[in-house]
Structure 1
Amino acid sequence: MILNNNEIILKEILPGKSFFFNMTEKLRTAFSIFYLAIGIFFIMSLSSTFGLFSIIGIGIFCNALYITFFRWILKYRRLKKNYYVITNQRIAIVEKANGKILKYKELNEIDQVNAEMNSKYFGNIIFGEPESMFGKDDENFSFFRRRGVNFAEDKYAFISVENINEIIPLFNDLGLNVNKTFY
C-alpha cells in the first residue's frame, strides 16, 4: 500500500469470514426470495408458449437468482480477498494479494460513521449515510422511476468487522462521531 506524505497506518482490520445481517438485509433477503418465487412462477406458467413473456420470465428469474444467492457469493469472495486500513488521513479497502488500494475515502470527506453490530461487537462500519431499504424518493430503480426495494451496497463500508468496540475509540480520536446501532 502506497501512503501519502505524513500518512501513518493506525489500524489494519481483517474482515471476519461470516456476514452480519441487519434488519435491512433480512428484509432484502425475504423480498429476494419472494422475487425468486415470482420468477419461477413466470417460467412455469409461460413455459408452454415461448414468446416475449417467457423471455421476460427468464430475465426476472435470472435477476432474482443473482439477488438471492450469487451476490452473496461475490460478496464473500471480495471479503476473503481484501482487508481494511485506517490511517490518519483516510480509510481504505486494500487487496491482500498486492496491496493495491481498491477504494478509499479521505477523513475530511466523511460526515458520519455508522456502526451496526450485534451484542458480540461483530458487524459493519458504514462511512456516510447507510443505504435504506426503499431508497430515496429521487433515486431511480431498475423497473420503476420511483419506489422499490433498494439492493445497492453501501459504497464505503467495512463489512464483517469483529471487535468494533476496539475501533470506535480510534474514530473518536480522529474527530469522527460514531452512531452505534445494536441488532
Structure 2
Amino acid sequence: MILNNNEIILKEILPKKSFFFNMTEKLRIAFSIFYLAIGMFFITSSLNSSFWLFSIIGFGVFCNALYVAFFRWIVKYWRLKNNYYVITNQRIAIVEKANGKIVKYKELNEIKEVNAEMNTKHFGNIIFGEPETFLGKDDESFSFFKRRGVNFTEDKYAFLSVENINEIIPLFNEMGLKVNKTFY
C-alpha cells in the first residue's frame, strides 16, 4: 500500500470470513426469497407461453432474482477473502491482500459519522456515513412512487465482518469522529 506524505498506519484489520446479519439484511433475505419465488413463477409460466417476449422477461426476472438471493453472497464472500482494511491518520482504506492495491478509500475529513453495527460479541460492520436502509430514501434513483421498492445497494464505504469493534471505536473517538453504536 502506498502511503501519502506524513501518513501513518494506525490499524490493519482482517475481516472474518463470515457475515453479520443486521435487521435490514434479514429483511432483504426474506424479500429475496419471495422475489426468487416470483422469478420461478415467471420462468415456469414463460415455458408454457408461446409469446417469446414473455419468455425473455421471465428469464431476466429469474436471473436477477437468483443473483439477489444467492450470487451476491458469493461476491461478498470473495471480497472478504481477498481484502483487508486499513485505518491511517489521514484516511480509511480497503486494500487487496494480493498486491496491496487500494480498492477504495475515504479521507477522514470527508467522514461525518461512523456507524458501528454489532452483536453482543462485538462482531459486525463499521459503516462510514449513513447506513443504507431497507426501503431507501425518497430521492433514491430506484424509487417507484416514492418508497415502493427494496434497496439492495451496499454501503459504499464500510468495513464488513469486523471482530472486536470495541477495540476500534476508541481509535475513531481519538481522531474526533462521532461513533454511533447499534447492537443487534
Interval containing the TM-score (normalised by the shorter chain): over 0.9
Give 1:79 shift: 0.6
Count, aligned residues: 182
Task: Name the SS for the 1:67 alignment partner.
Answer: helix
Instruction: Give me the whole-angstrom Cα distance separating, in 1, the residues matched to 2:2 and 2:13.
Output: 17
RMSD (Å), alpha carbons: 1.1
Q: Which amino acid aligns with 2:171?
A: L
Q: Which amino acid aligns with 2:137?
A: K
Stretch of structure 1 that moved more, 61-70 or 144-153 = 144-153
What are the superposed Cα offsets for residues 16-52 of structure 1, whole Å, 9 maximum, x if unpaired?
A: 0100000000000000000000010111123122421
Question: Hey, what does 2:22 align to over in structure 1?
Answer: 22
Instruction: Give me the whole-angstrom Cα distance separating, in 1, the residues matched to 2:21 and 2:129.
Output: 19
Stretches of structure 2 that go unaligned for 5 or more consecutive residues are none
Instruction: Give me the whole-angstrom Cα distance separating, in 2, the residues matched to 1:54 and 1:81.
Output: 38
**1:36 and 2:27 equivalent?**
no
Question: Hey, what does 2:103 align to over in structure 1?
Answer: 102
Stretches of structure 1 that go unaligned for 5 or more consecutive residues are none
TM-score computed with the length of structure 2 as normaliser: 0.96
**1:111 and 2:112 equivalent?**
yes
Percent identical residues: 82
Question: Hey, what does 2:177 align to over in structure 1?
Answer: 176
Instruction: Kindly report which structure 2 residues correspond to 1:5-154, keeping only aligned pairs within 5 A, or say none.
Output: 5-50=5-50, 51-141=52-142, 144=144, 146=146, 147-154=148-155
Q: Which amino acid aligns with 2:156?
A: K
Task: Find runs of 4+ consecutive structure 1 residues off by over 2 angstroms.
Answer: 144-147
Instruction: Give me the whole-angstrom Cα distance separating, in 2, the residues matched to 1:80 and 1:145.
Output: 39
Q: Which amino acid aligns with 2:8?
A: I
Give 1:141 shift: 1.4
Task: Name the SS for the 1:46 alignment partner.
Answer: helix
TM-score computed with the length of structure 1 as normaliser: 0.97
